[in-house]
């Protein structure tokens, strides 16, 4: 069996859509980070996306664990022209497209950004490349894409899950080669 512990990076305090923008994580809650680090297995490697907020969170919880190379496939979704805009600003630009992107996620994409299907395919390629157990420090969208597959639910249903900063979601698969994952815990805040 393979198990992944999906950790959402520390908070950024941004009030806009932040995908590929490289903003730092606030890692000042050292007690929460210590609880998280202690709750994770000590004998599995840590991997993160290539964005600073995930890298620094992975650094903070790594301890003596081995580190795998940062993986760009584990980046947050690319919001394109909607990057760093608030929901109100996105609606003012194109309310109809915004509704399609978030209410019927699939092939619709923000201008210059990724569709849910393209994003999910990228994430699944990154997740499936991990052999054995690992701690994956990534982003809310990444965790939701993984959950959609593990729960065998629609993208819309997956987007309804809350994923807090510094939370753990764990998934398993029967063998390292199996494409079938199942969710064990979702959004566990320690």
Looking from the CA of 145 toward its CB, the CA atoms found within 13 Å total 26
Q: Summarize pLDDT for 103-142 with one digit per residue, the tens.
A: 999 999 999 999 999 999 999 999 999 989 999 999 999 9
Are 112 and 132 in contact by the 8 Å Cβ rule? The answer is no
> Whole-angstrom Cα distance, residue 119 to residue 76?
8
Mean pLDDT (the chain, rounded): 96
Higher-pLDDT residue of 181 and 64 is 64
Confidence of residue 176 (pLDDT cuts 50, 70, 90): low
Mean pLDDT of 55-69: 97
Mean pLDDT of 158-187: 90
The domains located in the chain, with CATH, are: 2-188 (3.40.50.1240)
Give the CA dihedral 177, 178, 183, 188, nearest 10 degrees.
Answer: 0
pLDDT of residue 6 exceeding 80: yes
pLDDT of residue 174 exceeding 90: no
> Whole-angstrom Cα distance, residue 1 to residue 11?
31
pLDDT of residue 10 exceeding 70: yes
pLDDT of residue 82 exceeding 70: yes
90 token code pair: 């996105």
For 21-164, list the strands marked E by DSSP: 46-48, 134-138
Q: Which residues contact 133 (CB under 8 A, 6 or more apart)?
A: 2, 3, 4, 41, 44
Are 86 and 57 in contact by the 8 Å Cβ rule? The answer is no
Terminal-residue alpha carbon distance, the chain: 24
Percent of the chain whose pLDDT exceeds 70: 99
Mean pLDDT of 14-35: 97
Sequence length of the chain is 190
R_g over Cα of the chain: 16
Buried b / exposed e over 162-183, threshold 16 CB at 10 Å, is ebebbbbbbbbbeeeeeeebeb
Catalytic positions are 9, 76
Q: Summarize pLDDT for 34-53 with one digit per residue, the tens.
A: 999 999 999 999 999 999 99
């Amino acid at each position: 069996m393979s198990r992944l512990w999906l950790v959402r990076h520390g908070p950024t305090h941004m009030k806009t859509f932040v995908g590929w923008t490289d903003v730092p994580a606030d890692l000042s809650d050292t007690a929460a980070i210590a609880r998280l680090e202690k709750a994770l297995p000590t004998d599995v490697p840590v991997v993160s996306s290539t964005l600073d907020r995930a890298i620094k969170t992975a650094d903070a919880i790594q301890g003596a664990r081995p580190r795998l190379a940062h993986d760009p496939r584990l980046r947050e979704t690319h919001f394109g022209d909607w990057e760093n805009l608030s929901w109100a600003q996105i609606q003012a630009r194109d309310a109809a497209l915004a509704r399609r992107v978030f209410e019927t996620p699939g092939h619709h994409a923000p201008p210059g950004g990724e569709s849910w299907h393209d994003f999910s395919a990228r994430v699944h390629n990154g997740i499936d490349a991990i052999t054995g157990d690992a701690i994956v420090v990534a982003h809310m969208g990444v965790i939701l894409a993984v959950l959609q597959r593990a729960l065998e639910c629609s993208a819309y249903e997956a987007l309804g899950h809350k994923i807090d900063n510094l939370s753990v979601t764990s998934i398993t698969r029967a063998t390292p080669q199996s494409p079938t994952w199942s969710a064990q815990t979702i959004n566990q805040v320690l």
